[in-house]
Amino acid sequence: MTKYNEITCKTACHKIDGFLPYEWDLNIYRGCGHHCKYCFALYSHKYMNSVNFFDEIFVKTNIAESLEKQLSSKNWKREVINLGGVTDSYQPAEEKYKLMPEILKVLIKYKTPVTISTKSKLILRDYDLIDELSKVASVNIACTITTINETVRELIEPNTSLSSERFEVLKEFSKTNASTGVHMMPVIPYLTDTYQNLDGLFMNAQKCGACYVITDILNLRGQTRKVFFEFIKNKLPHLYGKISALYRNYFVDKEFRMQFKEKSKQLRIKYPLKNKRKIFVNQELEHLPQQLSFF
């Protein structure tokens, strides 16, 4: 049973440093109910353990008012905000709290560009607001999609929408002024890196009118390593030896990375995309910290 803790925040957006396609980050929730077995965000919440990261969610209930304060300042330069750089803005808590519509209204009022990435079809609830925002500011909508196999998805991302539903989300948003993309990450060695899976993902990305695809192989920082390998030992023990041999530290083995890069290059040629994204996004983010590249 998920426990929700309502809190208030002083500042809605936080400045991000580094080579990224956005300047600010806004997270409504601390913790995430999607329960992904490879969750990259665990290490960014060192003060929480993995059990309460997934089951005890902190909700910044005043975030829309706080955002309005920031955006109405004469110092605000209308730089790009990444909505949900750490945890998914459309995670299950959002069904209950409905904070995104209020945030989108503020963004429309101040014509502020955004990028939103999610694993949930709940984003369709706010379709009209996102459509309206895309008419006054640049908007990028991305879905993180790791597999076309729904059994594998259910295993590794139990509380998310079906992969097919996420492709439908992108298809719908491709009808707006927003650019759309697939965040194909993390690619999990020996589980989601098969040619068949990657081919299916690229093919669907093209079919749903995505402008770009970003790929990244699983990184295992901090607690993520422990949680991920516990999952593998329990649910897919035959893969434990093979996967752990590839992870002497938190990055995957170099040779594996090079082979994957080649596969990905061939699929980009096979399935060319529109490439008209509104907000610049790197296509290969393999060397960036995963918490920043996910969204």
Residues touching ligand SF4: how many (CB under 6 A)?
A: 11
Asked if 123 is part of the footprint of ligand SF4 (rule: CB under 6 A), the reply reads: no
Please identify, among the stretches 29-37, 99-107, 236-244, 259-267, the one whose residues bind ligand SF4 according to the rule CB under 6 A. 29-37
Whose Cβ is closer to ligand SF4: residue 86's or residue 267's? 86
Nearer to ligand SF4, 43 or 202 (CB): 43
| The binder of ligand SF4 chosen from 30, 34, 60, 183 (CB under 6 A) | 34
Q: Supply the minimum distance, in Å, between the C-beta of residue 13 and ligand SF4.
A: 18
40 touches ligand SF4 (CB under 6 A): yes
Residues 160 and 200: beta-carbon distance below 8 Å: no
Q: Is 36 in the site for ligand SF4 (CB under 6 A)?
A: yes
Nearer to ligand SF4, 157 or 193 (CB): 157
Name the segment binding ligand SF4 (CB under 6 A); options: 8-16, 19-27, 32-40, 126-134: 32-40
**CB under 8 Å to 278, separation ≥6 — which residues?**
113, 138, 139, 140, 177, 178, 179
The one among 30, 60, 119, 277 contacting ligand SF4 by CB under 6 A: 119
44 binds ligand SF4 (CB under 6 A): no
The verdict on 116 binding ligand SF4 (CB under 6 A) reads: no
3-state secondary structure of 23: coil
Which residue is it, tokens 């803790």?
A: 5
CA distance readout (Å), 109 to 104, 117, 127, 165, 200? 9, 21, 17, 30, 39
Within 77-106, the residues that bind ligand SF4 by CB under 6 A are: 87-88, 91
Cα–chain center distance at 148 = 17
Residues 6+ apart with CB under 8 A from 80: 21, 22, 23, 24, 113, 114, 115, 138, 279
Q: Any idea what DSSP says for residue 273?
A: -
Closest distance to ligand SF4 from the beta carbon of 267 (Å): 23
- Provide the 10 A C-beta neighbour count for residue 81: 26
Other beta carbons less than 10 A from residue 73's beta carbon = 10
Using CA atoms of 240, 244, 250, 253 in order, give the dihedral in degrees to the nearest 10: -130
**Structure token digits, residue 272:** 């060319």
Q: Are 130 and 104 in contact (CB under 8 A)?
A: yes
Tokens 């983010």 belong to: 285
39 binds ligand SF4 (CB under 6 A): yes
Asked if 216 touches ligand SF4 (CB under 6 A), the answer is no
Nearer to ligand SF4, 220 or 273 (CB): 220
Pick 153 or 278: Cβ nearer ligand SF4: 153
CB nearer to ligand SF4: pick between 137 and 214: 214
For ligand SF4, give the closer residue by CB, 108 or 162.
162
Q: Is the CB of 145 or the CB of 279 nearer to ligand SF4?
A: 145
Contact set with ligand SF4 (CB under 6 A): 32, 34-36, 39-41, 87-88, 91, 119
